[in-house]
Structure formats: structure tokens, C-alpha cells
């Protein structure tokens, strides 16, 4: 976000002009006698609003920015994000080596495209695409781009079908639960599709097949189903929804596809629950997105979109561009993007194999369940995703006079990033804390987090009691929480 603060720019300009005199390089002798921190750049303010006339030595620029970034949270203590914060040094090396390659320059970097196609192939098989299907897919910046592209293809297919049947095409809709990530609502707004959002209930934080059947009609371009919801890490009943849609197809002739949002669960289920049918084994599941940068174990930004069959991606959505060399088919929202996360995904596949991924997923799940059990035993927490199918825990506080936001804030003071939020409508009076357990979060870390959670609860209770005792001048108790 760019904020133009005019006054600040003027002030900064003045300051820079007065400092300019002193910005000569240090001579060699001076450099030998001190460290980067001893240079003049550490007693001047860093340019913030206008590009400076003069630069600075690389070491000083590095150190200034590096130190400023210390104000960010520590990724290793970040239980808020699903996104990968650690990779092996060999993956880091490959990523640095390929950092300058623009993925879209397929003609210049043909091998990178070959690698992308291999990953798509591997994913299609991981998601059990039938042998007689020709699956197609693409790397994206993340699941958000993948979801938008997947749904766009379904909108196109729906429109062609309606046109062929001589029916109106001005009222497309999409059916999904309020447990979806915000990007689904974004798709509906950006791509002009009516959003039919099924509200949650007080005690069920996913949708049911019956809910879906009530909402669909001839204008439904697709049904959205999630494996590993953002809010509680649960799963919509995808098999039931598939069966219900098959029945509708038989009785009413509406062929409504399911797009599965496997942003996080799509990289867990194949390894931990290989017999769970949620993917292309189900007839109506026509497209799946997954975030490589979540449980695909790659740094941010990579997602994947896979269509069950080539016929699920209308040809007129594919742009053939020729100005970068050869003829390149392109289905993406963004044009340029880095190659290195795609390469890192391939590294993980060949380095870990099925066994390696499974071991990591099992560890994460074991540590998540261990944390869940410990929290539950205190009597202060109710686990909302009680089976803990995926390595995250969503808990509601019980028997406490403070709320999840207070606890979250308190943990932040200790460095832990544990978000508190309310669930979507109609379960929005429930406030939860969510802890995503990642590969690099050991049992030892779980124990330290648990200790700090309990210490925070104790401190919050103590301060609450003190405040309760406090009486204002009029004799009323002054409650803070």
C-alpha cells in the first residue's frame, strides 16, 4: 500500500540535503578501523519516502534493512500461517540458483517448464486422476489464483452448455459454505457470479450435502468443497456432496462440477488418508487446487491447479503467446512469476518421495494431537476439530473470564503468534484460537508453547482478580476484561 505523506517527504528532503555533505564514502583506512555499524549510515535516518540521490555500500544497505526486519514476528513461532517457513539447504541453494528465471519465459527456460509439467503429472496421480483422463494443470502464485482460474473454467463450460441449449446465461451462481477462504467470495465478486453461501451452524463448521442440494439450480457453475478449512481445519463431506450431485445429474440433468479447495488438506490426505475418497476418484470432482507453499512444504508463492481432464479447461481460455520466442500456451492471471518455487516443489517430490512426505505429515499430526490433548486436559479449552484430522487445532476457551483475543495478545508478548478470530456466520459468536503445526514445530516446541499458554492464563487471571478488587471512587468495581 502506498501512502503519500507530503509533509514527511518535505521533511525528509530537507534532512537528506543537510546530510548530503557527509555522505562521501569512507576511505579504505577508515573502513579497516570499524565495522559496518561504525559507518555514518547508522547515525542517519534511512530513506523512507523518496529514492535518495546517493546510494550506500551494499553491506550498510543490507544491515539496515535486515535489522529493521527484526521487528517482524519470528516465522518459527508463527502458528498463524500455514505457509512453509523452513526448507532444506539444498532446496535453498536450488532456489537461489533459479531466482533470476522468469517462469513465463518458457522458450528461454524450457527445462523449467518441463519440470512444472512433471509436478502437474505427479499431482494428478497423487489426486487419483483416472487412467483414461488427460489431466492438465498449472503452477500458480498460490491457491487463490488456482481457485479463481479453476472456477473461471467452470463458468465458461457452464455458459457454453447453456448457450448450446438455448438458455439464458446472465445469472450464473456458485454454491459453497461459509467455511471457505475469502478468495472464493473474491472470485464471485470479481467474475460476476452470484454467491450462494451456506451459513454454518453453532455446532457444525462445515456444510452438508443436503445444504448443497437446497441451493443448486441450473445456473450453478460449480460447488465448492474444502478439505482442510481455514477456520477449523475440518473437511466438507465431499463424497456425500458428490453422490448428491450425481443423483441431481440423473434426475434433473444438471451436470454440476465440484472444485475441491485442497489448499492445505490436498497435500495431507494423499499421505495420511490414502483411502479417503475426496479427489478425482469422485465423478463430479473436476478440478482441485493445492498450495505448494503450505503442506507442499515449499516457501511462499506457489499453488497448483489440476483439472481432471483436458475437456474441463475450455480452449478459448488458453492464450497462445509467441512474443517470447516459441508458441506458449498460457492460463494464468499473472504473466511473469518466479520459477524457483516450482523447482523447489519438484525437489521436495524427488527428495522426499511418498515415504518422506508421509513421515513429515505423521510427525506434524502427532505433535498437533499432543498439543490438543494437553490443552483439553486443562479443562480450559474445547477442541472444535475434535478428531484433529489435519495438523492444526482450533480451540474455544471455556471457564475463563477473558477471551481468546486477550490470550492471543498475551502470547504475542512472548513471541508466539497464535491468532484469535470469530467463526463465519452463523457461528460468528464463537471466538477461537488456531494453532497450525508445521514441519519445523517439534514436540519440544509444543511443550514450550503449552507452558507459555498456561503461564499467560495464570497472569491474565491474576490481573483480572486484581482489577476486580479495584474499586473506583464511587465504590463500583472497575472490571477491565
Binding of residue 436 to ligand PLP (CB under 6 A): no
Q: How far apart are the first and last CA of the chain?
A: 34
Q: How far is the CB of 234 from ligand PLP (least distance, A)?
A: 11
Q: Which is nearer to ligand PLP, 294 or 406 (CB)?
A: 294
Establish how many alpha carbons lie within 13 A of residue 366's alpha carbon, considering only the half-sphere containing its beta carbon. 11
Segment interacting with ligand PLP, rule: CB under 6 A, options 21-29, 52-60, 142-150, 395-403: 142-150
Q: What is the 3-state secondary structure (H, E, C) of 228-297?
A: CCCCCCCECCHHHHHHHHHHHHHHHCCCCCEEEECCCHHHCHHHHCCCCCCCCCCCCEEEEEEECCCCCC
Among candidate residues 279, 256, 314, 346, the one with its CA nearest the CA of residue 129: 279
Q: How far is the CB of 332 from ligand PLP (least distance, A)?
A: 14
Beta bridge partners of 292: none
Residues 6+ away with beta carbon under 8 Å from 237: 206, 207, 208, 209
Percent composition of the chain: helix, strand, coil (DSSP 3-state, to 5): 45, 15, 40
Count other Cβ atoms within 10 Å, centred on residue 291: 28
Q: Can you tell me which of 154, 181, 286, 438 binds ligand PLP, judged by CB under 6 A?
A: 181
Q: Can you tell me which of 63, 116, 135, 291 binds ligand PLP, judged by CB under 6 A?
A: 291
CB 289 within 8 A of CB 259: yes
Window 208-237: contact mask with ligand PLP (x via CB under 6 A): ------------------x--xx-------
Q: Which is nearer to ligand PLP, 220 or 229 (CB)?
A: 229
CB 268 within 8 A of CB 361: yes
Q: How many residues in the shown chain lie near ligand PLP by CB under 6 A?
A: 14
CB 195 within 8 A of CB 219: no
Binding of residue 143 to ligand PLP (CB under 6 A): yes
Q: What is the three-class DSSP state of 48?
A: coil
Q: Which is nearer to ligand PLP, 230 or 341 (CB)?
A: 230
Binding of residue 207 to ligand PLP (CB under 6 A): no
Q: By beta-carbon distance, which residue lies closest to ligand PLP?
A: 142
Q: Which is nearer to ligand PLP, 12 or 179 (CB)?
A: 179
The grid coordinates of residue 320 equal 497462445
CB 255 within 8 A of CB 116: no
Q: Can you tell me which of 98, 135, 144, 341 binds ligand PLP, judged by CB under 6 A?
A: 144
Q: Which is nearer to ligand PLP, 181 or 196 (CB)?
A: 181
Task: Tell me how far the alpha carbon of residue 335 is from its chain's centroid.
Answer: 21
Window 328-357: contact mask with ligand PLP (x via CB under 6 A): ------------------------------
Residues 6+ away with beta carbon under 8 Å from 379: 398, 399
Establish how many alpha carbons lie within 13 A of residue 15's alpha carbon, considering only the half-sphere containing its beta carbon. 15
Q: Which is nearer to ligand PLP, 261 or 452 (CB)?
A: 261
Site for ligand PLP in 243-272 (CB under 6 A): 261, 263-264
Segment interacting with ligand PLP, rule: CB under 6 A, options 88-96, 140-148, 163-171, 280-288: 140-148
Site for ligand PLP in 298-327 (CB under 6 A): 303
Q: Which is nearer to ligand PLP, 150 or 257 (CB)?
A: 150
Angle at 24 (CA atoms; ends 20, 26), nearest 5 degrees: 140
Site for ligand PLP in 56-115 (CB under 6 A): 82
Residues 6+ away with beta carbon under 8 Å from 140: 146, 149, 289, 302, 303, 304, 305, 332, 333
Q: Which is nearer to ligand PLP, 112 or 230 (CB)?
A: 230
Q: How far is the CB of 265 from ligand PLP (least distance, A)?
A: 8
Q: Which is nearer to ligand PLP, 56 or 223 (CB)?
A: 223
Q: Which is nearer to ligand PLP, 12 or 261 (CB)?
A: 261
Window 388-407: contact mask with ligand PLP (x via CB under 6 A): --------------------
Residue 222 φ/ψ, nearest 5 degrees: -170, 160
- Applying CB under 6 A, the residues found at the interface with ligand PLP are 82, 142-144, 181, 183, 226, 229-230, 261, 263-264, 291, 303
Amino acid at each position: 500500500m502506498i501512502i503519500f505523506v507530503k509533509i514527511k517527504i518535505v521533511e525528509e528532503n530537507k534532512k537528506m540535503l543537510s546530510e548530503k555533505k557527509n555522505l562521501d564514502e569512507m576511505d579504505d583506512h577508515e573502513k579497516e578501523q570499524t565495522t559496518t555499524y561504525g559507518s555514518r549510515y547508522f547515525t542517519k535516518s534511512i530513506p523512507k519516502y523518496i529514492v535518495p540521490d546517493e546510494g550506500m555500500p551494499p553491506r550498510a544497505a543490507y544491515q539496515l534493512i535486515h535489522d529493521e526486519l527484526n521487528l517482524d514476528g519470528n516465522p518459527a513461532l508463527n502458528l498463524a500461517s500455514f505457509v512453509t517457513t523452513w526448507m532444506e539447504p539444498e532446496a535453498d541453494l536450488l532456489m537461489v540458483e533459479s531466482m533470476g528465471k522468469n517462469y513465463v519465459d518458457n522458450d528461454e527456460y524450457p527445462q523449467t517448464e518441463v519440470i512444472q509439467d512433471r509436478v502437474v503429472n505427479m499431482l494428478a496421480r497423487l489426486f487419483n486422476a483416472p487412467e483414461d483422463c488427460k489431466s492438465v494443470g498449472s503452477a500458480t502464485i498460490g491457491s487463490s489464483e488456482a481457485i479463481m482460474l479453476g472456477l473461471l473454467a467452470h463458468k465458461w463450460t457452464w455458459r457454453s452448455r447453456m448457450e448450446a441449449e438455448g438458455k439464458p446465461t446472465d445469472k450464473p451462481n456458485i454454491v459453497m459454505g461459509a467455511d471457505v477462504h475469502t478468495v472464493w467470495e473474491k472470485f464471485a465478486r470479481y467474475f460476476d457470479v452470484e454467491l450462494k453461501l451456506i451459513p454454518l451452524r453453532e455446532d457444525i463448521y462445515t456444510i452438508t450435502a443436503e445444504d448443497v442440494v437446497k441451493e443448486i439450480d441450473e445456473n450453478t457453475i460449480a460447488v465448492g468443497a474444502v478439505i482442510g478449512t481455514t477456520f477449523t481445519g475440518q473437511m466438507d463431506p465431499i463424497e456425500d456432496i458428490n453422490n448428491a450431485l450425481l443423483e441431481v445429474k440423473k434426475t434433473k440433468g444438471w451436470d454440476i462440477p465440484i472444485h475441491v479447495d485442497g489448499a492445505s488438506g490436498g497435500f495431507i490426505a494423499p499421505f495420511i488418508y490414502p483411502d479417503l475418497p475426496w479427489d478425482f476418484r469422485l465423478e463430479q470432482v473436476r478440478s482441485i487446487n493445492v498450495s505448494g507453499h503450505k503442506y507442499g512444504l515449499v516457501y511462499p508463492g506457489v499453488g497448483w491447479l489440476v483439472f481432471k481432464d483436458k475437456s474441463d479447461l475450455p480452449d478459448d481460455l488458453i492464450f497462445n503467446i509467441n512474443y517470447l520466442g516459441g508458441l506458449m500456451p498460457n492460463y494464468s492471471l499473472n504473466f511473469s512469476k518466479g520459477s524457483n518455487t516450482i523447482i523447489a516443489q519438484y525437489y521436495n517430490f524427488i527428495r522426499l518421495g511418498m515415504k518422506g512426505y508421509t513421515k513429515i505429515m505423521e510427525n506434524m499430526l502427532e505433535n498437533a494431537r499432543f498439543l490438543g490433548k494437553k490443552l483439553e486436559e486443562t479443562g480450559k479449552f474445547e477442541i472444535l476439530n475434535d478428531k484433529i484430522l489435519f495438523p492444526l487445532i482450533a480451540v474455544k476457551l471455556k471457564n475463563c473470564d477473558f477471551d481468546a483475543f486477550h490470550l492471543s495478545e498475551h502470547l504475542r508478548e512472548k513471541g508466539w503468534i497464535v491468532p484469535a478470530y470469530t467463526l463465519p456466520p452463523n457461528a460468528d459468536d464463537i471466538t477461537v484460537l488456531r494453532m497450525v503445526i508445521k514441519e519445523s514445530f517439534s514436540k519440544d516446541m509444543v511443550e514450550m508453547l503449552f507452558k507459555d499458554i498456561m503461564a499467560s492464563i495464570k497472569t491474565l487471571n491474576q490481573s483480572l482478580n486484581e482489577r476486580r478488587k479495584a474499586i473506583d471512587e464511587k465504590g463500583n468495581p472497575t472490571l477491565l476484561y
